[in-house]
Structure formats: C-alpha cells, structure tokens
C-alpha cells in the first residue's frame, strides 16, 4: 500500500539551530503512528513542516500522492490533513458551535456557501461531536470561557469536523481530565477503525501512545532515533537514555506506565 | 450584570430594543417633514456619513482585526474621483459627468485600489499594518496635492452645486440602513464568521482550510468601496474638495473612537458609538469650547477603562474589547509562522 503521508529528509533550521534534521516519516492510510521525544526534539516543528506552516530547508513532503512541499496551510488542509496545536488555537470570541461549524472541509465550501450560514448537516455533525466531547452544554458559550482541557477537546472536535484522512495531534490530551482521556482514546480508535482516518500523534503520555499505535517514531535533537512497535521502543536502550535520561535509567521499571516524558 | 445581559438577549429586552430601533427609524424618516431646517438636515447627513465610515472601519478593524489607521484615504479617493469626473472641462466648457455615475465610479475606484493596496499591506502583521495604512493615507494625500493637472492641486476642485439637503439626507439614510443590514447579514454567513476567525487566530484559520488572504482582502476592498461611496456623496454636497478637507485623519480617528465607544466587532456598535460621539461633541462643543478635544480624549480613556467592550459590546458578547484586540494583534505579530502573511 502506498503511504498517505510521506516525508523524506525533512530539514528545518532556525538560524544556527537545526530543529528538524533529515527526518523520514511515513503514515499509511488508516494507520496510527506515535511520535515521541524529549521536549525540544522537534516534534512540533516537524508538524509545522508537514502542515505547510513552516517552509522547509530540505527534503520533501507528499500527501495522498500529491507533492505538498511548497503548499500553503489552507491548501494542505483542503487535501484532508487536519491538526491540533500544542499551543491551543481556538477562536476565543466565537461560540463553541461556531468554532466547530467553521472547521468544515473548506474544499467543499463554494462561493455561494460562503455567503450562507453553515448548513443543517454541518450543524448536526458539530452538535454530535460536541455531545461526544462533553461540550454540548457549552455550545453557545464563547470558546474563550472554556478550560484548557475543554479547549483541547474542542480542537480535536474541530480537526474531526473536516472529514480528514490524516490528523496530526500535538499533545492533544495535555491538561485534559484523566477520565476523559480514556474516552478520547476510545473515540480516536473508533474514528480510526470506522472511518479509516489515520493519526500521527505527539504525546507525553506514553501509555496513550502504546495503547493506540502499532508503530512509534522517536525523535531526539531533530533526528529520528528509533522506530518500531511500542514494546520495541520501550526496550531500546538509546531511547531510554535520550528520553528518560539518567533518572530514566534508575526508574526505568516504572517509566512506561505514566511516563510524563519530562526531557533533559 | 449577567441577568441584565440575559434579559436583553431575549424576551422583553429584545422587544424593547426593536421598539427603540423602530421609533428611531420612524423619527429619522419623518424628521424633514416636521420642518427640520436645511442646516439641521446637513448636520444629520454628516452624522450619517460618519456612522457609515465607522461601520466600514469596523468591518476590517473590529471583525477582521486589521486595525486601519488610514481608512479615510478611501473617503478622499471617492470624493476626488467624483469631483474630478463632475468638474471635467474641455476648452472651458463643462463636460462634467452626472452625479450618480461619478459617485459610483468613485466607489469602484476606491474599492479596486483598496483591494490592490490591501493585497500588499495586509501581509503585514499586527501594528505594522496599522502604520502602513497611515503611510498610505499620507502618501495618497500628497500625491493628490502634487498632481495638480488632474486634481487641482492644493487649490482643490469646485463641483456644480446642487443643494437639495432633503434628498441627500434621504439617500444617505437609506444607504446607512442598507449598510447595517448588509453587515448584520454578513456576520451570519460563513464569510462573516471566518473574518472573526482571522481576527482571533489567522494561522489557525489557515490551517483549518480558510483562505484567509482572499477573505481579508475582499472585506478590505468592500469597506474601501463603501467609504469611497460616502466620500463621493460628501464631495457632491460640499460642492468643493481640497486635499486637506477630503483627506483628513479626523475621519479615521472618529471612526475608531465611535467604534470603540459603541463596541468593536459588533454590528450595531459603530452606529450607536458614532451617534453618541456626535451628540457628545455637540454638548462638549457648546459648553467646553476651548477644552472639548481634551474632554473628548479623557472621555475616551474612561470608556476604554470602564466599558472596555463598548456600549453594545457590553450586552452583545460577540464584540471584542480594545485590550483583547490589542493582545490579539501582538500575538499575530509574534506568530512564529512564516506563512501567515504570504500571498
Ligand atoms: N520559530 C522558532 N524559532 C526559533 N527556534 C524555534 C522555533 N520553533 C521551534 N524552535 C526550536 O526548535 C527546537 C524544537 O522545538 P519543538 O519543535 O517545539 O520541539 P518539541 O515539540 O519536540 O518539544 C527547540 O529547540 C525550539 O526552541
Ligand atoms: Mg511540541
């Protein structure tokens, strides 16, 4: 099967700092891939490169067979790649429902739709997703009044509104109520198996990644350090060294269950 | 406060607001028939003009978050195009255009130029856009002053007089009502919601598939055309234009102050605020002749401090406070994306 997302040799420099240093990453249609690494290892920057927010200094990115290396963010989104943001980006002065309704698949919004309110189907879909994310009662509140955890949920909802083929989740469960994290996990799994949506997810909660993904990629200092199944990764000495450092070596027996991934 | 907001948002509050709007409209329509003098009607027409400019400013500044410090440039352009077309002469014979096509062409020219200039200046983030528009305003005024063959230079142009104050008043009243309805409707469409999304988080909006460049330039051009239209109407009524009265920064300042007073990013805010400002100015002008500008400035500071979301924004939470808008602009400028401003 050909890859849905295929990035080869991606390089991103900020002045003298090479934040992403020749990373290859592939995601097959319907696959769930984890991306982990210490703070500052380049995960968010890699997402920015994949989604067209940052122009890259080397390598190429293709999505669904289309070269998107030089595409702009809204074009990438219209091809079916959605994402959430580590630094939350909801529209604070719009209502929760408006945030959702505005995040439909814009490739399908023609000039006439632009000058109409969101359609009934969109509103229903937004309502259903909000119910699931337990944001139903807040639908008419400005998104700025939500808690941090609720805003993350809203971002997940917004990403799912656009019928994406691939969703990049950047620490989507950070600050979310732990009981809800389990629900999110189930929902992501359901979206994945029922609609074949692929996920590439950055998570500090290693258990979350291990439960969802068959394959995990580890970044360290901008380069790919390891790649494999969650158990292979957890046993890889290089990963333990980089990810958990000296403290990790001492406590590696309990590192997997709730590792917070606090980097060096 | 919350209870008050709720009461106003529905039920009797809603009815009361509609009643006030209906009474105000009826009063505005019958005013000339009640024997209002020409000078009253002229003052009212000027007030309607400043209401319209504030509504247009709010489209880019309040809804979309692009705070324009040079919006009056479109007013001056509309005024000058109208004046030039209406006062054309060949061999000292007047071959001037009739007013309606001249005013319409003025609006179109202002709209097209706003689109072209916005395409460039709207790449700039946060405060840099505001400064660039101020620069545009000054540059255009000086070009008009220098380009004497066409514009009459510093001396200005005289238009054929036509002083039916009542007609002007009704035309502008109808246009302002139409403009309010247009903005009210736009805010309910995806287009309007997307404009607010651009204000809140342009990069986020792009990443969710919104072609932000096209939408923000489109609304900027629309606002420019509309302000140009009122500029043309003003030139015709004033029967005279020169660079300093057609291009005066006071129009931009009034639009911003009126919108702040009424409520940034709300539909009714610029209307309520500009009328309030006009009324205040009459009062202050009459009583504090020497200090009215100071008093006005102090008042504005008080408003921003005590009623940060403006009169309408206090009840309609769709608006945005000046402070929040400032914060959004700063964040916009700091946004680490390289793409947010690309074409
Ligand atoms: N816009 C930027 N300018 C300069 N340096 C940046 C920028 N964005 C990220 N970096 C740097 O790139 C490195 C990788 O950051 P990031 O991708 O956020 O890591 P992660 O998401 O894995 O924690 C860090 O050293 C960070 O400071
Ligand atoms: Mg990160």
Taking 50 as the threshold, does the pLDDT of residue A252 lie above it? no
What distance in Å separates the CA atoms of residue B78 and residue B90, rounded to the nearest whole number?
22
Whether ligand 1 lies within 6 angstroms of the CB of A17 is answered as yes
Query: Testing the interface with B: which of A77, A93, A158 to mutate, by most B Cβ within 10 A?
Result: A93
- CA distances to B42, B283, B290, B291, B296 from B286, rounded to whole Å, are 18, 5, 10, 11, 13
Q: How far is A197 from chain B (nearest CA, A)?
A: 17
| Reported confidence tier of residue A244, pLDDT bands at 50, 70, 90 | low
Q: Which ligand is nearest to the CA of A37?
A: 1
Q: B149-173 burial string, b = 16+ CB within 10 Å, else e?
A: eebbeeebbebeeeeebeebbbbbb
Percentage of chain B beyond pLDDT 90 is 64
* Statement: residue B3 has pLDDT above 60: no
Note which residues in 128-157 of chain A have CB less than 8 A from chain B: 142
Return the best residue to mutate from A10, A12, A17, A219 for the ligand 1 pocket (most ligand atoms within 8 A of CB): A17
- Quote the pLDDT of residue B336: 61
Find which of A41-45, A170-174, B294-298 is predicted with most confidence, using mean pLDDT: A41-45
Return the H-helix or E-strand segment holding B257. helix B249-262
Q: Model confidence at B305, in pLDDT bands (50, 70, 90)?
A: confident
Query: Using the beta-carbon criterion (under 8 Å), do B318 and A109 form an inter-chain contact?
Result: no
The answer to whether the CB of A41 is under 6 A from ligand 1 is: yes
Residue A45 CB less than 6 A away from ligand 1:
yes
Question: What is the B202 CA–ligand 2 centroid distance (Å)?
Answer: 20
Residue B240 has pLDDT above 60, yes or no: yes
Q: Residue of the nearest CA to atom 27 in ligand 1?
A: A40
B279-291 average pLDDT score: 74
Looking at all shown ligands, the one closest to residue A170's CA atom is 2
Lowest mean per-residue pLDDT among A24-38, B38-52, B145-159, B167-181: B145-159
Dihedral sign, Cα of residue A98, residue A30, residue B337, residue A38 = positive
Atom of ligand 1 nearest to the CA of A45: 17
Minimum mean pLDDT range among A220-229, A251-260, B328-337 = A251-260
Q: What is the mean pLDDT of residues B226-250?
A: 96
Query: Which of B190, B203, B338 has its CB closest to that of A55?
Result: B338
Q: What is the model's pLDDT at position A174?
A: 86
Verify whether the Cβ–Cβ distance A106 to B208 is below 8 Å. Answer: yes
Helix residue ranges per DSSP H, B147-211: 148-151, 165-188, 190-207
CB distance from A102 to chain B under 8 Å? yes
For A264, counting Cβ atoms within 10 Å of its Cβ (0-12 exposed, 13-18 middle, 19+ buried), the class is: middle
Read off the pLDDT of each residue in A131-140 and give the average, rounded to a whole number.
91
Which residues of chain B are within 8 Å of residue A77 when distances are taken between CB atoms?
206-209
Does the CB atom of residue A19 touch ligand 1 within 6 A? yes
Task: Please report which confidence band the pLDDT of residue B10 belongs to, taking 50, 70 and 90 as the band edges.
Answer: low
Q: Is the pLDDT of residue B177 over 90?
A: yes
Atom 6 of ligand 1: nearest residue by CA position? A14
Give residue A45 CA to ligand 1 midpoint distance, Å.
6
Cα A1 to averaged position of ligand 1 atoms, centre (Å)? 33
Mean pLDDT, residues A23-49 taken together: 94
Q: How far apart are CA B318 and CA B160, in angstroms?
A: 45
CB within 8 Å: B339 and A158: no
The domains found in chain B, sorted by start residue, are 42-341 (1.10.3470)
Residue B134, exposed/middle/buried by CB under 10 A (0-12, 13-18, 19+)? middle
**DSSP letters of B47-108?**
HHHHHHHHHHHHIIIIIS----TTTHHHHHHHHHHHHHHHT-EETTEE-PPPHHHHHHHHHH
Q: What is residue B8's predicted lDDT score, i.e. its pLDDT?
A: 53
Q: Is the CB of A204 under 6 A from ligand 1?
A: no
Q: What is residue A168's predicted lDDT score, i.e. its pLDDT?
A: 96
Within 8 A of A74 by CB-CB distance, chain B residues are: 206-212
Instruction: For B71-106, write each residue's pLDDT tens digit.
Output: 999 999 999 999 999 998 877 777 889 999 999 999
Q: Per-residue pLDDT averaged across B7-23, rounded?
A: 75
Q: Each residue of B90-108: b (16+ CB within 10 Å) or e? A: eeeeeebbebeebbbbbbe
Of A74, A92, A116, the CB nearest to B210: A74
Model confidence band, residue B307 (pLDDT cutoffs 50, 70, 90): confident
Can you name the residues that pair with A12 across neighbouring β-strands? A20
pLDDT at position B330: 82
Task: Work out how many CB contacts closer than 8 A connect A with B.
Answer: 107
What are B19's two structure tokens?
Answer: 């009643």
pLDDT digits (tens, 9 = 90+) for A86-127: 888 999 999 999 999 999 999 999 999 999 999 999 999 999
Residue A250 has pLDDT above 60, yes or no: no
Dist. CA A40 → ligand 2 center (Å): 7
Candidates A72, A73, A102; nearest CB to B193 = A102
Cβ-Cβ contacts under 8 Å, B204 against chain A: 85, 89-91
- E strand or H helix that includes residue B145: helix B126-146
* Selection from B285, B211, B273, B235 nearest residue B110 by Cα: B235
Best of A44, A63, A100, A102 to disrupt the B interface (most B CBs within 10 Å) is A102
User: Taking CB atoms and an 8 Å limit, are A106 and B206 in contact across chains?
Assistant: no
- By the CB < 8 Å criterion, does A79 face chain B? no
pLDDT mean across residues, chain A: 88
Q: Which of B242, B252, B194 is nearest to B67 (CA)?
A: B252
Q: Confidence band (pLDDT; 50, 70, 90) for A176?
A: confident
pLDDT of res. B302: 84
pLDDT band at residue A263 using 50, 70 and 90 as cut-offs: very low
What atom of ligand 1 comes closest to residue B336's alpha carbon? Answer: 1
pLDDT at B5: 54
pLDDT average, residue stretch A34-60: 93
């Amino acid at each position: 099967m050909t890859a849905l997302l295929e990035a080869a040799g991606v390089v991103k420099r900020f002045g003298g700092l090479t934040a992403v240093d020749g990373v290859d990453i592939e995601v097959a249609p319907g696959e769930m891939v984890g991306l982990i690494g210490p703070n500052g290892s380049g995960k968010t920057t890699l997402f920015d490169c994949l989604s067209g927010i940052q122009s890259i200094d080397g390598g190429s990115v293709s999505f669904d067979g289309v070269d998107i290396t030089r595409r702009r963010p809204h074009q990438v989104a219209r091809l079916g790649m959605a994402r959430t943001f580590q630094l939350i980006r909801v529209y604070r002065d719009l209502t929760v429902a408006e945030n959702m309704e505005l995040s439909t698949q814009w490739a399908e919004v023609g000039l006439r739709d632009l000058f109409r309110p969101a359609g009934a189907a969109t509103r229903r879909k937004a309502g259903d997703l909000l119910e699931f994310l337990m944001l139903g009662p807040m639908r008419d509140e400005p998104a700025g009044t939500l808690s941090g955890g609720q805003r993350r949920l809203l971002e997940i909802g917004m990403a799912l509104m656009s019928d994406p083929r691939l969703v990049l989740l950047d620490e989507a469960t950070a600050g979310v109520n732990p009981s809800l994290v389990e629900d999110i996990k189930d929902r992501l799994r359901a979206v994945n198996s029922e609609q074949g949506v692929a996920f590439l997810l950055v998570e500090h909660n290693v258990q979350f990644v291990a439960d969802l993904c068959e394959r995990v990629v580890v970044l360290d200092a901008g380069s790919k350090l390891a790649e494999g199944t969650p158990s292979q990764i957890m046993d890889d000495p290089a990963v333990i060294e980089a990810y958990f450092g000296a403290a990790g070596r001492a406590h590696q027996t309990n590192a997997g269950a709730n590792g917070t991934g606090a980097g060096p | 406060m919350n209870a008050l907001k709720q009461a106003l948002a529905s039920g009797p509050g809603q009815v009361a607001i509609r009643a006030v709007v209906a009474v105000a409209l009826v009063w505005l329509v019958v005013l000339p028939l009640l024997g209002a003098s020409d000078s009253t009607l002229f003052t009212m027409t000027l007030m309607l003009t400043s209401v319209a400019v504030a509504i247009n400013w709010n489209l880019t500044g309040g809804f979309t978050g692009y705070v324009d410090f040079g919006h009056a440039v479109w007013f001056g352009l509309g005024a000058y195009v109208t004046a030039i077309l209406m006062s054309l002469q060949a061999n000292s014979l007047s071959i001037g255009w009739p007013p309606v096509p001249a005013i319409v062409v003025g609006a179109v020219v202002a709209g097209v130029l706003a689109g072209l200039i916005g395409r460039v200046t709207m790449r700039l983030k946060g405060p840099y856009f505001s400064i660039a528009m101020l620069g545009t305003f000054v540059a255009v005024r000086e070009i008009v002053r220098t380009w004497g063959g066409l514009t009459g230079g510093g001396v200005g142009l005289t238009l054929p007089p036509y002083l039916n104050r009542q007609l002007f008043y009704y035309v502008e009243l109808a246009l302002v009502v139409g403009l309010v309805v247009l903005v009210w409707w736009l805010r309910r469409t995806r287009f309007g919601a997307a404009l607010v999304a651009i204000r809140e988080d342009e990069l986020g909006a792009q990443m969710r598939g919104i072609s932000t460049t096209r939408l923000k330039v489109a609304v900027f051009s629309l606002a420019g055309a509309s302000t140009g239209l009122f500029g043309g109407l003003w030139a015709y009524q004033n029967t005279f234009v020169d660079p300093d009265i057609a291009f005066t920064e006071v129009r931009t300042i009034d639009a911003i102050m009126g919108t702040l007073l009424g409520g940034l990013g709300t539909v009714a805010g610029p209307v309520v605020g500009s009328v309030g400002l006009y009324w205040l100015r009459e009062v202050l002008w009459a009583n504090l002749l020497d200090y009215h500008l100071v008093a006005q400035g102090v008042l504005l500071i008080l408003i921003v401090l005590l009623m940060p979301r403006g009169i309408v924004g206090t009840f309609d939470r769709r608006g945005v406070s000046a402070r929040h808008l400032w914060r959004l602009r700063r964040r916009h400028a700091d946004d680490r994306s390289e793409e947010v401003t690309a074409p």
